[in-house]
Copies of this chain bind each other. A is one copy, B any other.
Amino acid sequence: MPNGPVHLFVPGPTNVPDAVRRAMNVPQQDHRAPDFPELTLPLFAGLKKVFASETGRVFMYPSSGTGAWEAAITNTLNRGDRVLMSRFGQFSQLWVDMATRLGLDVICIDREWGEGVPLEDYARHLTEDKTIKGVFACHNETATGVTSDVAGVRRVMDEAGSGALLYVDAVSSMASIPFEQEEWGVDLAVTGSQKGFMLPAGLSMLGVSAKALEAHESATMERCYFSFADMLKFNDLGYFPYTPSTPMLHGLQCSLDLLFAEGLPQVFARHHRLAEGIRRGVEALGLSMCAVSPQWYSDTVTAIRTPEGVDAAEVCRIGYHRYRTSFGAGLAKVAGKVFRIGHLGDLNEVMCLAALASAEMSLADAGAKVELGAGVAAAQDYYRSALEAEAVLGRTASASPQ
């Protein structure tokens, strides 16, 4: 069945819109040319708008998101610094692992995979321990489909009078669900190109607050590739300390144009609508989510528990080989127990229905007792009324090809 595109429902890399693919298909160019800043300076401005950061800056690294995690740490902390982290999924776990390897003194709070950042625990630690230099939060745990309350983290920090920096992994949330770097007092906000920005992997973005920039000046970890210092020297002129990938920069320009043309609030609303349809479908199939309660539901990825006795990895395999659909596998602790539907980026309702239809068949083939079409119907019902409401509000743009 190798016909038609693979239906891509991993939570990143996400589908790159045709317009972005076109924008990226450019000849190479001199990254030191006099007019190069005409391309780059608007990108920095656009990113600040997406991060909702007025007074900070956004750096772009030729790296995966992991690189920006490291940049955030090495530029602002010293070896041995005490930091507060929590772990409830594969990606929050990897960040904890990195912090440890880079020589930080990590207080790691473990939570069930399916919960998010534990505000009460954070509050307690911050109140008790005034040596904490950094507080880490995974905004959207991609492995479990859990969104945490970053504004809440800031609140407990403030209530505890903490002067620590706030580090947020926004890899699978940025440009998809609301994010307010300035308002939430996020000092280091990490994201990557291959999720809400609808680009291939390879470019990471790091939103840095004024306070973090200050911290950078006295931070003593050795660093070079990820050093803020080199960026600061070049970025304001529109250049980079390294050879950037110009196709990625052109792609980003297009991606920002698309995001702003739709409007960030509309982008967030659409992600919520698409996600809610998926969830209605999952519920209608009698399945439960990895996220243990609605407060944690993520609007960018849904991790679905397979029924007892049904191997979630087999669901993925069948989806991929038989129905030409890429679902996200369960990772680490939840391997074999969940499969994931990524629903972020360049998606529409009918694509989400296709995901559900494919998931239903894959589940059935893997031995799950699900009623074919039931999930689709529940989502259809929701989408019809949600789009009806949108239309009444005059917010639904009429579709135009391209």
Given A7-B350, A350-B7, A353-B354: A30 touches B243 (CB 8 Å cut-off): no
Q: Is A377 an interface residue (CB 8 A)?
A: yes
Residue A207 is within 8 A (CB to CB) of chain B in the complex = no
Chain B neighbourhood of A384, CB < 8 A: 361, 364-365, 372
Pairwise interchain contact B324-A348, C-beta atoms closer than 8 A: yes
Q: Are B357 and A376 in contact (CB under 8 A)?
A: yes
Taking the closest CB of chain B, its distance from the CB of A145, in whole angstroms, is 17
Complex contacts, A227 vs chain B, CB 8 Å: 101
The answer to whether A244 and B26 have CB atoms under 8 Å apart is no
Residues of B within 8 A of A5 (CB): 18, 27
Pairwise interchain contact A25-B21, C-beta atoms closer than 8 A: yes
CB-contacts of A1-44 with B (<8 A): 1-8, 10, 12-18, 21-36, 38-39
Which residues of the partner chain B approach A222 to less than 8 Å between Cβ atoms?
A: 79, 101-103, 221
A194 engages B373 (CB within 8 Å): no
Q: How far is the CB of A201 from chain B (nearest CB, A)?
A: 4
Q: A377 to chain B: which residues have CB within 8 Å?
A: 371-374, 376-377
Q: Is A4's CB under 8 angstroms from B357's CB?
A: no
Tally chain A residues at the interface, Cβ within 8 Å: 117
Closest partner residue, chain B, to A70 (CB atom): B225
Per-residue contact bits, chain A 214-226, to B (CB 8 Å; 1 contact, 0 not): 0000000111111
**Distance to closest chain B CB from A212 (angstroms):** 19
- Is A118 at the interface (CB under 8 A from chain B)? no
B380 and A361 contacting across the interface, CB-CB below 8 Å: yes
6 of the cross-chain contacts (CB-CB < 8 Å) are A5-B27, A12-B243, A16-B27, A30-B326, A201-B245, A322-B391
Given contacts A5-B27, A8-B29, A350-B323, contact A200 B245 (CB under 8 A): yes
How many angstroms between the C-alpha atoms of A95 and B200 in the bound complex? 29
Q: Please, which residue of chain B has its CB at the minimum distance from the CB of A349?
A: B323
The answer for the CA separation of A376 and B358 in the assembled complex, in Å, is 11
CA gap between A22 and B219 in the complex, in Å: 44
- A320 touching B399 in the complex, CB below 8 Å, given contacts A3-B348, A16-B28, A201-B62: yes
Q: Does residue A235 face the partner (Cβ distance < 8 Å to B)?
A: no
Whether B246 and A201, one on each chain, are in contact in the complex, defined by CB atoms closer than 8 angstroms, is yes
Asked whether B67 lies within 8 Å of A64 as measured between CB atoms, the reply is no
Q: How far is the CB of A334 from chain B (nearest CB, A)?
A: 14
Q: Is the CB of A4 within 8 A of B346?
A: yes
On chain B, the residues within 8 Å of A365 by CB distance are 384, 388
- Residues of B contacting A202 with CB < 8 Å? 62, 202-203, 244-245, 248
A377 to B378, CA, bound (A): 13
Contact among B28, B270, B374 for A373, CB-based, below 8 A? B374
For the complex of A and B, 9 pairs with smallest distance between CB atoms = A373-B377, A202-B245, A64-B242, A29-B401, A4-B348, A373-B373, A30-B326, A354-B354, A353-B357
Q: Name the residue on B nearest A326 (C-beta).
A: B30
A63 to B242 Cα, complex, angstroms? 9
Q: How far is the CB of A362 from chain B (nearest CB, A)?
A: 10
Minimum Cβ distance to chain B for residue A71 (Å)? 9
Q: Complex Cα distance A201/B68, Å?
A: 18
Contact of A321 among B15, B63, B399 (CB under 8 A): B399
Give the complex CA separation of A101 and B377 in angstroms.
Answer: 51
